[in-house]
Chains A and B, each alone.
Chain A
């Protein structure tokens, strides 16, 4: 088995007197899809905000490619190649696909946009992900469906050769066909060697694509298993706290 690309050890985070993460450990492997599940309030969002550099952890060790790193702001995370696709999609409706994919990191020449270069790279990224549902990269995002938007948001995250992509509920609020498309896209992301950390409430999706399942329960990682060695019933048990995982953390 490959070495993990991200390894969290005993990470803690509290807001005032409320301890949200009580010593969480997590591994994300390159080329694998790691699912993070848990009930509302389990600490999933806090965990990924720490990885994104939005809310740094109080305690604990973060190793990236085996090296201990500090994640204090989004820029540091982005610099390492950690990209986050948020649940409420961070896209601008009034801009087109290329403009959204390059937002905040436009290619310029003499201070003005090199639209040709951006257009080509955006098309190539979409093509490399086998995206075939968008007609033109110059479409306004407002004219896209939910699945297409999610596609653009994911494509945006891998545009600059991300090493780890964190997906927050990528299939929430999508129809059946669109969910299939997005899950296929997530699989292709992993096939490119990207370490994928996917947060989801939908266990069907998780069992369909994830290689590993990690269960958070009230700020503690109560289970870390390979998907092939567990069942949906067991995972539901871990999530609700009615079952205790006895195996060795995978």
Chain B
């Protein structure tokens, strides 16, 4: 966003009086140069994760004839959806420099409640009502964590570790020993197992392009009204072209018939637009509203935030509530994919979620990272699982590779910062 400066900005490198840049001025070439400088100075964002994703995809395409097929492609998306959602949920608390180890079991508790309430053999509650109760359970659990972290002052690691252990028991009590409930609602099953009509996929791409265009144009209007310069419009066209090409390729692939039998299967899985919508709303909130800005501020320097009149306790409280609620949505995705909920539902996934966020470039120290970073990180981890599965390698390899990629991602980040003269700690 800004033109990166030389470390020493005293007299010699200074601008003439009265000229202070905004990082928005300059030609396309200057903007690109500024971006390259930012990357070189260690602000890489999701770049390593994107590169890793591309490399892994190329690698698996070479190694397995099944990887780059329409079927596997759609499969990969539905496999990744749960982790993408959970990683995005965790971003809200990781930005504060906190952690929620109970996000997975929170989704387990909420989904256990859902199946027990909505099961046709049991309480037979209307499934929409049951789903709303599950989401509300997420909010309540988040507020509960927030109370202990923000009010009582216990480290979130400890609070959520306690809940991680405790909620497994709660889940067992709700579900019953060794129990397993099948998801009976076709609407829930459809999320991960049905597709949009082919035309709707293209409409979705059109909507994304229009939203991108309109928000950028509105931003430019606001800036010109305030009398400050906007970035060169060429950047907008480049971004739209990129979205159109990439989105076009993905939707084109998914529009092919990937059925194996007589039944034709095609279209974008329903989970994709849901995830994109939540990604967009979350990014909007983080970038453009006070709540989002204050999350970054508290994560960057809580004391400075407090002195600026920000209610730090309230922000923390809200962040945990958002995290737990989004975690429940990831639970819905998972239940839809698996088709059932048992007493161990959601137990194993949370650390993968944290790993996804870190691989994507979200700083565990707080204050740095975006939702899209976590989403890309989750895709990397999902593609490893998917690709290694296709290669028929023993299950242990998957864990080894995932762990290796996590450490590699952290190393790339640390080295780039040290080389840029920064500290090895991500500040």
Q: Which residues of A contact B (CB under 8 A)?
A: 74-75, 78, 86, 88-96, 99, 103-106, 108-109, 111-117, 119-120, 123, 126-127, 130-140, 142-145, 147-148, 177-178, 181
Contacts of B5 in A (CB 8 A): 134-136, 139, 143-144
- Residue B117 at the chain A interface, CB threshold 8 Å: no
Given contacts A105-B309, A120-B226, contact A92 B304 (CB under 8 A): yes
User: How distant is A120 from chain B, measured CB to nearest CB, in Å?
Assistant: 5
B248 to chain A, nearest CB (A): 30
Does the CB pair A90–B288 fall under 8 Å?
Answer: no
Known contacts A90-B301, A90-B307, A136 near B23 by CB under 8 Å: yes
5 pairs across A/B with beta carbons < 8 Å? A75-B309, A95-B300, A103-B308, A138-B22, A144-B5
Instruction: Say if the beta carbon of B412 comes within 8 Å of chain A.
Output: no
CB distance from A121 to the nearest CB of B (A): 9
Does the CB pair A95–B309 fall under 8 Å? no
Q: Which residues of A contact B310 (CB under 8 A)?
A: 103-104
Contact with A136, one of B2, B226, B227, B303 (Cβ below 8 angstroms): B2
Is the Cβ of A135 less than 8 Å from the Cβ of B21? Answer: yes
Contact B10 A133 (CB under 8 A): yes
Contact A106 B2 (CB under 8 A): no
Give chain B residues whose Cβ lies under 8 Å from the Cβ of A78.
309
CA distance A93 to B423 in the complex (A): 13
Residues of B within 8 A of A142 (CB): 427
Q: How many residues of B contact A (CB 8 A)?
A: 50
Q: How far is the CB of A88 from chain B (nearest CB, A)?
A: 8
Other-chain contact of B226, A119, A144, A145 (Cβ < 8 Å): A119
- Of chain B, the residue at the smallest CB distance from A134 is B20
Asked if A109 and B222 sit within 8 Å, CB to CB, the answer is yes
Given contacts A104-B310, A111-B289, A116-B228, contact A136 B22 (CB under 8 A): yes
Taking the complex as formed, is B3 at the interface, i.e. its CB lies under 8 A from any CB of chain A?
yes
* Structural contact, A92 and B296, CB atoms closer than 8 A: yes
CA distance A94 to B362 in the complex (A): 13
Known: A112-B288, A137-B20. 9 other contacts (CB 8 A): A92-B301, A105-B309, A112-B284, A117-B222, A132-B15, A132-B18, A133-B11, A136-B5, A142-B427
Question: Across the interface, do A104 and B309 meet the contact criterion of CB distance under 8 Å?
Answer: yes
Taking CB atoms and an 8 Å cut-off, the chain B residues in 5-21 that contact chain A are 5, 7-11, 13-18, 20-21
* Contact A123 B9, beta carbon cutoff 8 Å: no
- Shortest beta-carbon distance from B401 to chain A in Å: 31
User: In the complex, what's the smallest C-beta–C-beta distance from A151 to chain B, in angstroms?
Assistant: 10
Is there contact, CB below 8 Å, between B299 and A94?
yes
Lowest 5 A-B CB distances belong to which pairs? A116-B226, A104-B308, A138-B2, A138-B23, A92-B300
Taking a contact as CB atoms under 8 Å apart, the answer to whether B309 and A138 are in contact is no
Task: Give chain B nearest CB distance to A81 CB in angstroms.
Answer: 15
For A104, list chain B residues within 8 Å (CB).
305, 308-310
The answer to whether A139 and B4 have CB atoms under 8 Å apart is yes
**Which one of A89, A134, A138 contacts B24 once the chains associate, using CB atoms below 8 Å?**
A138
Q: How far, in whole Å, are A43 and B1 apart by their CA atoms in the complex? A: 43
Bound-state CA distance A99–B288 (Å) is: 11
Name B307's closest neighbour in chain A (CB-CB): A90
B368, CB-defined interface residue at 8 Å: yes
Q: What 0/1 pattern do residues 68 to 105 of B give for CB contact below 8 A with A?
A: 00000000000000000000000000000000000000
A86 to B301, CA, bound (A): 14
Given A74-B309, A92-B367, A103-B310, decide whether A148 and B20 contact each other with a Cβ distance below 8 A. no
A132 vs B13: C-alpha distance in the bound complex, in angstroms? Answer: 10
Question: CA separation between A119 and B300, bound complex, in Å?
Answer: 21
Complex interface: chain A residues within 8 A of B228 (CB): 116, 119-120, 123
Q: How far is the CB of A160 from chain B (nearest CB, A)?
A: 12
B331 to chain A, nearest CB (A): 30
Tell me which residues across on chain B come within 8 A of A120, comparing CB atoms.
226-228
* B224 proximal to A (CB < 8 A): yes
Chain B residues 210-234 with CB under 8 Å of chain A are 219, 222-228
B42 to chain A, nearest CB (A): 10
A114 closest partner in B (C-beta): B222
Q: How far is the CA of A116 from the CA of B296 in the complex (A)?
A: 20
A85 to chain B, nearest CB (A): 10
Q: Which of B300-345 contact A (CB under 8 A)?
A: 300-301, 303-305, 307-310
Q: How many Å lie between the Cα of A135 and that of B23 in the bound state?
A: 9
Residues of A within 8 A of B41 (CB): 143
B219: A residues at CB distance < 8 A: 115
Of residues 268 through 315 on chain B, the ones whose CB sits less than 8 Å from some CB of chain A are: 284, 288-290, 293, 296-297, 299-301, 303-305, 307-310
A145 and B8 within 8 A (CB): yes
In angstroms, how far is the closest chain B Cβ from the Cβ of A96? 6
Question: Are B3 and A139 in contact, with the CB atoms below 8 A?
Answer: yes
Which residues of chain A are within 8 angstroms of B288 by Cβ–Cβ distance?
112-113
Q: Do residues B303 and A90 form an inter-chain contact, with CB atoms below 8 A?
A: yes
Q: Output the nearest chain A residue to B219 by Cβ-Cβ distance.
A: A115
Q: Considering residues B7, B18, B20, B24, which has the most beta carbons from chain A within 10 angstroms of its beta carbon?
A: B20
Bound-state Cα–Cα, A17 to B83, Å = 58
Q: Tell me which residues across on chain B come within 8 A of A106, comparing CB atoms.
A: 290, 293
Q: In the complex, which residues of chain A have a beta carbon less than 8 angstroms from the beta carbon of B299?
A: 94
Q: Is the CB of A136 within 8 A of B297?
A: no
Query: What residues of B have a CB within 8 angstroms of the CB of A115 in the complex?
Result: 219, 222-223
Complexed CA–CA distance, A148 and B289 (Å)? 27
Q: Taking each of B219, B304, B309, which has the highest tally of chain A beta carbons within 10 Å of its own beta carbon? A: B304
Q: Are A134 and B9 in contact (CB under 8 A)?
A: yes
Q: Which B residues are CB-close (under 8 A) to A74?
A: 307, 309
Given A113-B288, A116-B223, A132-B16, A137–B21 Cβ distance below 8 Å? yes
For residue B22, give the distance in angstroms from its CB to the closest CB of chain A: 5
In the complex, what's the smallest C-beta–C-beta distance from B18 to chain A, in angstroms? Answer: 5
